[in-house]
Amino acid sequence: MTDSIKLEIYETDKSVCSYLKWEAKLAVKSRAQVRSRLNRIRLGNFGDSKPVKKGVKELRIHSGPGYRVYFGVSGKSVVLLLCGDDKGSQSRDIDKAVEYWEDYKKRAKEGQR
Protein backbone atom coordinates (compact mmCIF):
# COMPACT_ATOMS: atom_id res chain seq x y z
CA MET A 1 0.00 0.00 0.00
CA THR A 2 1.28 3.44 -0.94
CA ASP A 3 1.55 6.13 1.72
CA SER A 4 -0.73 9.00 0.84
CA ILE A 5 0.71 12.35 -0.11
CA LYS A 6 -0.35 15.39 1.86
CA LEU A 7 -1.36 18.46 -0.12
CA GLU A 8 -0.68 21.83 1.47
CA ILE A 9 -1.47 25.27 0.11
CA TYR A 10 1.16 27.98 0.08
CA GLU A 11 0.30 31.13 1.99
CA THR A 12 2.35 34.33 1.83
CA ASP A 13 3.55 36.02 5.01
CA LYS A 14 0.51 38.30 4.58
CA SER A 15 -1.84 35.28 4.57
CA VAL A 16 -2.59 35.42 0.83
CA CYS A 17 -3.36 32.07 -0.81
CA SER A 18 -2.95 32.59 -4.55
CA TYR A 19 -3.96 29.00 -5.32
CA LEU A 20 -7.24 29.23 -3.38
CA LYS A 21 -8.09 32.59 -4.95
CA TRP A 22 -7.62 31.08 -8.41
CA GLU A 23 -9.56 27.90 -7.64
CA ALA A 24 -12.50 29.89 -6.24
CA LYS A 25 -12.89 31.66 -9.60
CA LEU A 26 -13.24 28.42 -11.55
CA ALA A 27 -16.60 27.17 -12.79
CA VAL A 28 -17.96 24.25 -10.77
CA LYS A 29 -17.13 21.67 -13.47
CA SER A 30 -13.58 22.97 -13.90
CA ARG A 31 -13.01 23.05 -10.15
CA ALA A 32 -14.16 19.43 -9.95
CA GLN A 33 -11.69 18.45 -12.70
CA VAL A 34 -8.83 20.17 -10.89
CA ARG A 35 -9.74 18.57 -7.57
CA SER A 36 -9.99 15.17 -9.23
CA ARG A 37 -6.40 15.54 -10.44
CA LEU A 38 -5.29 16.63 -6.98
CA ASN A 39 -6.93 13.56 -5.47
CA ARG A 40 -4.85 11.40 -7.80
CA ILE A 41 -1.71 13.17 -6.57
CA ARG A 42 -2.69 12.22 -3.02
CA LEU A 43 -2.46 8.61 -4.20
CA GLY A 44 0.95 9.17 -5.75
CA ASN A 45 -0.23 9.49 -9.37
CA PHE A 46 1.13 12.79 -10.69
CA GLY A 47 -0.04 12.09 -14.24
CA ASP A 48 0.75 14.79 -16.78
CA SER A 49 3.22 16.91 -14.87
CA LYS A 50 6.74 18.13 -15.46
CA PRO A 51 9.45 20.24 -13.82
CA VAL A 52 9.44 23.82 -15.12
CA LYS A 53 11.92 25.94 -13.17
CA LYS A 54 13.96 25.94 -9.94
CA GLY A 55 12.17 23.06 -8.25
CA VAL A 56 8.67 24.12 -9.34
CA LYS A 57 6.58 21.57 -11.20
CA GLU A 58 3.57 22.04 -13.43
CA LEU A 59 0.46 19.87 -13.35
CA ARG A 60 -1.25 20.08 -16.74
CA ILE A 61 -5.00 19.66 -16.92
CA HIS A 62 -6.26 19.31 -20.48
CA SER A 63 -9.69 20.86 -20.22
CA GLY A 64 -11.05 24.33 -20.78
CA PRO A 65 -8.25 26.75 -21.63
CA GLY A 66 -5.58 24.29 -20.43
CA TYR A 67 -5.40 24.71 -16.68
CA ARG A 68 -2.06 24.61 -14.90
CA VAL A 69 -1.36 24.05 -11.21
CA TYR A 70 2.15 24.89 -10.02
CA PHE A 71 3.57 23.02 -7.06
CA GLY A 72 6.68 22.07 -5.17
CA VAL A 73 7.51 18.81 -3.45
CA SER A 74 8.78 19.00 0.11
CA GLY A 75 10.22 15.73 1.36
CA LYS A 76 8.63 12.47 0.26
CA SER A 77 5.06 13.09 1.27
CA VAL A 78 4.14 16.78 1.00
CA VAL A 79 3.09 18.63 -2.14
CA LEU A 80 2.76 22.38 -1.78
CA LEU A 81 0.22 24.00 -4.14
CA LEU A 82 1.66 27.37 -5.11
CA CYS A 83 -0.71 28.86 -7.69
CA GLY A 84 -2.80 28.01 -10.70
CA ASP A 85 -4.08 29.53 -13.92
CA ASP A 86 -4.53 28.71 -17.57
CA LYS A 87 -1.97 28.24 -20.30
CA GLY A 88 -2.40 31.85 -21.47
CA SER A 89 -0.47 33.30 -18.52
CA GLN A 90 1.99 30.44 -18.17
CA SER A 91 5.36 32.27 -18.10
CA ARG A 92 4.11 34.88 -15.61
CA ASP A 93 2.61 32.14 -13.43
CA ILE A 94 5.82 30.12 -13.45
CA ASP A 95 7.78 33.15 -12.25
CA LYS A 96 5.23 33.76 -9.49
CA ALA A 97 5.36 30.07 -8.47
CA VAL A 98 9.16 30.17 -8.30
CA GLU A 99 8.96 33.26 -6.07
CA TYR A 100 6.47 31.50 -3.78
CA TRP A 101 8.55 28.29 -3.69
CA GLU A 102 11.72 30.20 -2.79
CA ASP A 103 9.84 32.07 -0.05
CA TYR A 104 8.41 28.81 1.33
CA LYS A 105 11.86 27.17 1.49
CA LYS A 106 13.38 30.26 3.13
CA ARG A 107 10.65 30.45 5.77
CA ALA A 108 10.78 26.68 6.35
CA LYS A 109 14.51 26.93 6.95
CA GLU A 110 13.89 29.75 9.43
CA GLY A 111 11.11 27.74 11.08
CA GLN A 112 8.35 30.14 10.00
CA ARG A 113 6.39 28.09 7.46
pLDDT digits (tens, 9 = 90+) for 36-94: 999 999 999 999 999 999 999 999 998 888 899 999 999 888 999 999 998 888 889 99
CA distance 60 to 22: 15
Evaluate if residue 112 carries a pLDDT over 80.
no
- The per-residue pLDDT for 77 is 86
Which pLDDT value is given to residue 1?
43
Say how far apart CA 71 and CA 83 lie, in whole Å.
7
Q: Which domains does the chain have, with CATH numbers?
A: 6-109 (3.30.2310.20)
Whether this model's pTM surpasses 0.75: yes
How many CA atoms lie within 13 Å of 11's alpha carbon, on the beta-carbon side?
A: 8
Q: Please state whether 54 falls in left (phi above 0), alpha (psi between -120 and 50) or beta.
A: left
- How far apart, in whole angstroms, are the C-alpha atoms of residue 2 and residue 86? 31
pLDDT in tens, 8-26: 999 998 999 999 999 999 9
